[in-house]
């Protein structure tokens, strides 16, 4: 029985890890079927986990039969799994402090490029969503405060918590981080939204910049 047929008849919980990969791969190429490609991808994933290394598109496209689209599909599934796991671990439906927020954001600690994410909360501090709003170079996220404002308004937020990572591994806030926090705080106040915190995430530590 093919993985898709098994999924339809028996449910996703009956699928093995390799069968989940096979569904993402979908089809093979000349000389390699989808099962062979899936096995190679699984070995690469396990190797990355063992070495503590984040997978990249380049890592996967070196596998015979894996193109960029398949690589992006696999990496997107892995990323979604991380985010969903972080979301539901420890009942974060209400976020009442920075530690709660960090538990959701901590998957950013291994990113090689700086990224800015926000969590939107309603007036009862209940989780609405998490959004990535900026991706920068190795040392700079080119963030316009209006990106935070737009997302906060669109999601009907009462409160926002922002986070960005330092690829260097050092979570010490820079002067630019502090200034950005002040500017975003002022901008959000104009539309009636409060920035609860701005978290800087390092390799194994984090720091808070209150607005």
Domain extent, residue 190, equals: 91-209
The whole-angstrom separation of Cα 109 and Cα 21 is: 25
Same domain, 146 and 200: yes
Same domain, 136 and 65: no
Bigger pLDDT: 99 vs 86: 99
What CATH number has the domain bearing residue 162?
3.40.140.10
What's the whole-model pTM score? 0.60
Same domain, 29 and 100: no
Same domain, 19 and 67: yes
Lowest-confidence range among 11-20, 71-80, 173-182?
11-20
Which residue is listed with tokens 């950005």?
180
Nearest residue to 111 (alpha-carbon basis) of 45, 173, 166, 48: 166
Which residue is listed with tokens 């926090």?
181
Mean pLDDT of 151-178: 92
pLDDT at 160: 96
- Beta-carbon contacts of 107 under 8 Å, excluding residues fewer than 6 positions away, are 82, 83, 86
Same domain, 118 and 203: yes
Same domain, 103 and 80: no
Given 30, 62, 86, the domain boundary residue is 86
pLDDT at 165: 94
pLDDT class of 28 with cuts at 50, 70, 90: confident
Domain count, the chain: 2
Same domain, 64 and 141: no
Same domain, 98 and 180: yes
Give, in order, the Cα–Cα distances in Å from 62 to each of 67, 113, 185, 198: 9, 22, 44, 38
Given 55, 86, 117, the domain boundary residue is 86
pLDDT at 90: 47
Same domain, 116 and 198: yes
Same domain, 82 and 96: no
Lowest-confidence range among 26-30, 71-75, 157-161?
26-30
Give, in order, the Cα–Cα distances in Å from 40 to each of 61, 194, 209: 11, 47, 43
146: left (phi over 0), alpha (psi -120 to 50) or beta: alpha
Same domain, 67 and 112: no
Given 54, 71, 86, the domain boundary residue is 86
Mean pLDDT of 163-168: 93
The β-bridge relationship of strands 115-121 and 127-135 is: antiparallel
Contact in structure between 195 and 181 (CB atoms under 8 Å): yes
């Amino acid at each position: 029985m093919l993985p898709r047929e098994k999924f339809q008849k028996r449910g996703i919980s009956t699928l093995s890890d390799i069968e989940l990969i096979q569904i993402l791969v979908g089809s093979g190429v000349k000389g390699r079927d989808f099962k062979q490609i899936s096995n190679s991808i699984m070995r690469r994933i396990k190797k990355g986990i063992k070495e503590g290394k984040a997978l990249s598109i380049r890592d996967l496209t070196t596998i015979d039969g894996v193109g960029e689209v398949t690589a992006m599909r696999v990496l997107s599934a892995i990323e979604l799994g991380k985010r969903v796991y972080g979301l539901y671990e420890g009942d974060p439906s209400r976020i009442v402090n920075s530690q709660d927020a960090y538990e959701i954001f901590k998957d950013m600690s291994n990113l090689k490029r700086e990224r800015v994410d926000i969590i939107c909360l309603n007036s009862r501090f209940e989780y609405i969503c998490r959004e990535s709003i900026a991706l920068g170079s190795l040392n700079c996220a080119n963030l316009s405060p209006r990106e935070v404002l737009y997302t906060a308004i669109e999601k009907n937020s009462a409160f926002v918590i922002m986070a960005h990572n330092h690829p260097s591994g050092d979570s010490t806030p820079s002067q630019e981080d502090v200034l950005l926090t002040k500017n975003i705080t002022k901008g959000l106040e104009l539309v009636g939204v409060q920035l609860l915190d701005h978290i800087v995430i390092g390799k194994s530590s984090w720091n808070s910049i209150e607005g």
